[in-house]
């Protein structure tokens, strides 16, 4: 990313609205898109500008928004006690803009904005010595946006909100994004003259445009290259649309980086995911949170990897679930396996069908191939854990640990009643119930019931 620096710029993010069309108790800007809230997407793009300061205007759900954002981003907060429109919201920010020369105003529900697009607006504003600059776009179907009204000579006259526009104005295809860069002195002076004589009875920020023009100030529109970036999310349909656009971007970026993604329309890849070169992501897979996938991995189909680390050359096969776990190089998981938090597989480990591993370390080149549960355990190198083996780690009140040495063979359907240790080189016979420590080497098994045969016995039949 090109480094930007705007030391005389103060940024204001408008995030006070309730978002009633979302039909949610959650503040609108906290609804997530691919692992981040809409507001966090906006903040990440804005932080790349390296401005003097960044402030967020809060209203509905202010405490919740602060609790989510404060841990991750350095911002100052401004409260809009009454939601009287975007112009009124900006007026509340005069004190945070005192040391700036220019102010960039962005909406908190525009998660598709790129840093480069915002930088282009600010740079054009500064280079042209404009008093007001805003991002506009040509929309073939301009529904939902304010129209940019121009004179016959092409000069900007005003921005009319759709609900207040005439039929002729609604035919205009140039629309405003609602994103403004304004000279500070002009901004707060013109806001004083904006009235609320509109359908909503609100003070709209675009109202500064005709006021500024009347006072002889320069107003410019900067056309956006990608109209998708201006999409504001006001309901769940638009949330879905924004998610689809962002996912397409992510897929294309990873494809350019050497990742193969099969049937990408079925795949979810969050914004915080890292993928290595020559990795294949198969249909239906979901890569969530801060997941890291190394080079040359094979994922899916229909695998879910959530905040996990998968090293080079590993495979997570069909319908497997890996959550907050570590899969080392050349290991294989699945199909139909589950790694729960704090599971760690060393190099070359095989976790097979319907195996669950929780809070356990499985040593190098060991195998747990079928129908087993390994919890709160340490398993050494080169072990073979037979089908149906269970580490019985819970006594109804507390969890206990199982420790298995190197080169151990555990026969099928064995129960290891923790706390218990199995020495290196030991073999445990199938069907054993192990309640005491097992010595190194040799064969350990529990006494099995006598096998009986009843001659001439017949199964019951249905009437």
Catalytic residues, by residue number, are: 370
Residue owning tokens 């908190």: 108
**Whole-number Å distance between alpha carbons of 49 and 181:** 13
**Whole-number Å distance between alpha carbons of 56 and 74:** 10
Per-residue burial over 25-44, b if 16 or more Cβ lie within 10 Å, else e, is eebbbbbebbbbbbbbbbbb
| CA angle, residues 255, 260, 263, in degrees to nearest 5 | 100
**Whole-number Å distance between alpha carbons of 94 and 87:** 12
Kindly report the number of other CB atoms within 10 A of residue 344's CB atom: 18
Cα 230–chain centre separation: 20
Angle between helices 62-69 and 38-47 (to 10 degrees): 50
Per-residue burial over 54-88, b if 16 or more Cβ lie within 10 Å, else e, is bbbbbbbbbeebeebbeeeeebeebebeeebbbbb
**Whole-number Å distance between alpha carbons of 132 and 222:** 11
Q: Which are the contacts of 331, defined by CB distance < 8 A and separation ≥ 6? A: 311, 314, 315, 345, 346, 347, 348, 349, 350, 351
Q: Which are the contacts of 161, defined by CB distance < 8 A and separation ≥ 6? A: 146, 198, 199, 204, 206
CA dist 379 → 23, 245, 421 (Å): 50, 45, 10
Closest CA to 150 of 219, 72, 233: 219
């Amino acid at each position: 990313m090109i480094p930007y620096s705007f030391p005389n710029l103060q940024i204001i993010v408008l995030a006070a609205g309730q978002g009633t069309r979302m039909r949610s108790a959650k503040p609108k800007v906290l609804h997530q898109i691919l692992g981040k809230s809409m507001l966090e997407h906006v903040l990440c793009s804005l932080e790349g500008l390296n401005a003097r300061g960044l402030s967020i205007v809060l209203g509905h759900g202010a405490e919740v928004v602060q609790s989510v954002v404060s841990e991750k981003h350095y911002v100052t907060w401004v409260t809009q006690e009454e939601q009287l429109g975007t112009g009124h919201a900006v007026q509340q920010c005069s004190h945070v803009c005192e040391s700036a020369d220019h102010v960039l105003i962005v909406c908190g529900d525009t998660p598709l904005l790129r840093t480069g697009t915002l930088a282009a607006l600010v740079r054009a504003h500064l280079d042209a010595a404009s008093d007001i600059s805003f991002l506009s776009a040509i929309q073939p179907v301009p529904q939902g946006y304010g129209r940019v009204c121009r004179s016959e000579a092409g000069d900007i006259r005003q921005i009319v909100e759709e609900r207040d526009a005439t039929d002729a104005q609604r035919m205009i295809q140039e629309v405003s994004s609602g994103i403004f860069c304004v000279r500070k002195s002009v901004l707060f002076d013109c806001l004083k003259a904006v009235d609320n004589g509109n359908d909503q009875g609100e003070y709209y920020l675009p109202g500064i445009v005709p006021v500024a023009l009347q006072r002889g100030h320069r107003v410019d529109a900067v056309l956006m290259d990608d109209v998708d970036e201006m999409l504001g999310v006001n309901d769940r349909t638009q949330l879905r649309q924004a998610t689809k656009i962002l996912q397409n971007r992510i897929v294309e970026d990873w494809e350019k980086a050497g990742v193969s993604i099969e049937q990408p329309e079925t795949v979810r890849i969050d914004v915080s995911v890292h993928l290595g070169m020559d990795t294949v992501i198969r249909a239906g897979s979901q890569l969530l949170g801060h997941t890291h996938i190394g080079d040359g991995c094979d994922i899916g189909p229909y695998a879910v990897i959530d905040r996990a680390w998968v090293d080079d050359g590993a495979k997570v096969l069909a319908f497997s679930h890996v959550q907050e776990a570590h899969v080392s190089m050349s290991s294989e998981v699945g199909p139909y396996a589950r790694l729960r938090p704090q599971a760690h597989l060393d190099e070359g480990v095989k976790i097979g069908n319907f195996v669950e591993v929780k809070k356990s370390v499985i040593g190098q080149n060991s195998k747990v191939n079928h129908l087993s549960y390994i919890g709160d355990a340490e398993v050494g190198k080169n072990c073979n854990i037979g089908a149906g083996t269970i580490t019985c780690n819970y006594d109804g009140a507390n969890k206990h640990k199982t420790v298995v040495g190197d080169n151990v063979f555990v026969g099928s359907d064995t129960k290891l009643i923790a706390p218990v240790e199995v020495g290196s080189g030991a073999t445990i016979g199938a069907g054993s119930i192990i309640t005491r420590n097992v010595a190194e080497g040799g064969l350990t098994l529990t006494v099995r019931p006598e096998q009986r045969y009843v001659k001439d016995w017949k199964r019951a039949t249905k009437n």
